[in-house]
Structure 1
Amino acid sequence: MNRRQMISLAALLVAAPALAPTLAGAQEAAVDPYAPIEVEIRDDFETGSIVVVSRDFFLYHVVAPGKAVRYGVAVGTAELVWKGKATIGRKVEWPSWRPTDDMIERNPGAYAKYADGMPGGPQNPLGARALYLYDDRGNDTAIRIHGTTDPGSIGRAVSNGCLRMRNEAVMSLFDQVPIGTPVYVF
């Protein structure tokens, strides 16, 4: 083996660990299209922002210019899809939950029993973490990016407007984004 071949082999061995997560992520996404994976994104979104494309059931956390981690989400049913720009105004681990008055009015059989709220925990519909979205005037939109007790809902339009993620995904995102993070929902 000559010097050039040794250097080439060494470079390949050094690069191999760096390639492994990318290949593993691609394989995982092929099996589960909603598994987190790093993808390319338009480079006009600011690093750190969150971009949601509701019709495709994906949330993108922009980690560098033109790069994002893509997560699968569940979104609101057709009449309840929320779109707009917001910022994360509050973050809560194991949040408590109370259905909105509109939710109770639309489906009292499912929600009236929770009118006084439900403490946080593994059975709570908001799951392990919640990111509360606020409008540009500082008002709570009542829309959350949150975990779920129903991971099979990811990739569907089933919620009352909030953006659901698998608990492990929302826990990862929660740890990465600060209060004030811009969120764009299309």
Structure 2
Amino acid sequence: MTELMTVTRPLAWTRIRRILLSRLVLALVAIAPLAACQTRPAQLAQDDDAAWYIGAKPDKPFDIPLVDTGRLDPKYRRQQVSYNGPEQPGTILVDIDKRQLMLVQADGTAMQYGVGVGKAGFSWKGEARVGRKGVWPDWSPTATMVSLNPDLPRTRKGGLDNPLGARALYLYQGNRDILFRIHGTNEPWSIGEQMSSGCVRMLNEDIADLYERVPVGTRVLVKRSGKYRA
């Protein structure tokens, strides 16, 4: 499991945590108007956003906020599970209905992660590949998003307030970017929910883990209603 950044002095840790969590709360407020891969229904807004965070993992150029996974349903926590399906090791499998992503391993197991998925009418299914990868990636709205909301910013630099989070895997079919991503999120309570604009979102610490495990070219299968294809 991901290791926490160690802080030996309780007072120093309290001060660092207060600064970190204050930054996160301000960042969450700042991104509220954005509508790309990130939608925050009022009923899911938390009374205490900062309570979700317990520390940080050193990363560049920003540390990765770590979530209290005890707040998640156990089935959405990162874990190694048995796998006896037909897909080859190294394949990413996303089950929209179960809100889970698996990376098939070579030893009859899979790494399983909880995910948030697209709201009704936005979820995509099919086969793709990881066409490129990004670390603290910049965000840009699609043409459709701009047509629906012309006031959207045309780009947003990577960071704690970015809807794509700490990492992103960009899905391609052939040489075409299909505009769906597997990416981090700064809304950890959305894991297990159906509320994005179609992308697959993961805890920042989980997408960072997956990012290190998969190369560009990795096969991705996204299943909905028990099928990868219509």
Q: TM (normalized to structure 2)?
A: 0.63
The one-letter code sitting in structure 1 at the alignment partner of 2:217 is G
- Which of 77, 82, 92 is the aligned partner of 1:50? 92
Preserved contact between residue 90 and residue 179 of structure 1 (Cα < 8 Å): yes
- Which of 131, 144, 167 is the aligned partner of 1:129? 167
- State the Cα distance separating 1:99 from its structure 2 match: 1.4
- Which of 85, 102, 109 is the aligned partner of 2:127? 85
Preserved contact between residue 78 and residue 157 of structure 1 (Cα < 8 Å): yes
Structure 1: how far apart are the matches of 2:186 and 2:179?
A: 19
- Counting only pairs closer than 5 Å after superposition, residues 55-134 of structure 1 correspond to structure 2 as 55-64=97-106, 66-106=108-148, 108=149, 112-114=151-153, 116-134=154-172
Preserved contact between residue 141 and residue 152 of structure 2 (Cα < 8 Å): no
Structure 2: how far apart are the matches of 1:173 and 1:55?
A: 20
Q: Which residue of 2 aligns with 1:12?
A: none
- State the Cα distance separating 1:40 from its structure 2 match: 1.7
Aligned: 1:174 with 2:211? yes
Deviations 1:43-73 (A, max 9, x none): 3111011000001100001112531011000
The one-letter code sitting in structure 2 at the alignment partner of 1:112 is D
Alpha-carbon RMSD: 2.0
Based on CA coordinates, which of the two structures has the bigger radius of gyration?
1
- Which of 143, 149, 156 is the aligned partner of 2:180? 143
SS of the equivalent of 2:146 reads helix
Alignment: residue pair count: 155
Q: Which residue of 2 aligns with 1:36?
A: 78
- State the Cα distance separating 1:105 from its structure 2 match: 3.2
**Deviating 4+ runs (over 2 angstroms):** 28-33, 103-106
SS of the equivalent of 1:131 reads strand
- State the Cα distance separating 1:113 from its structure 2 match: 2.7
Q: Higher helix fraction: Structure 1 or Structure 2?
A: 1
Which deviates the most, 39-48 or 162-171? 39-48
The one-letter code sitting in structure 2 at the alignment partner of 1:141 is I
SS of the equivalent of 2:87 reads coil
Preserved contact between residue 88 and residue 133 of structure 1 (Cα < 8 Å): yes
Distance 1:61 1:184, change over 3 A: same
Structure 2 unpaired stretches of 5+:
1-69, 224-230
Structure 1: how far apart are the matches of 2:147 and 2:182?
A: 23
Overall identity of the aligned pairs, in %: 43
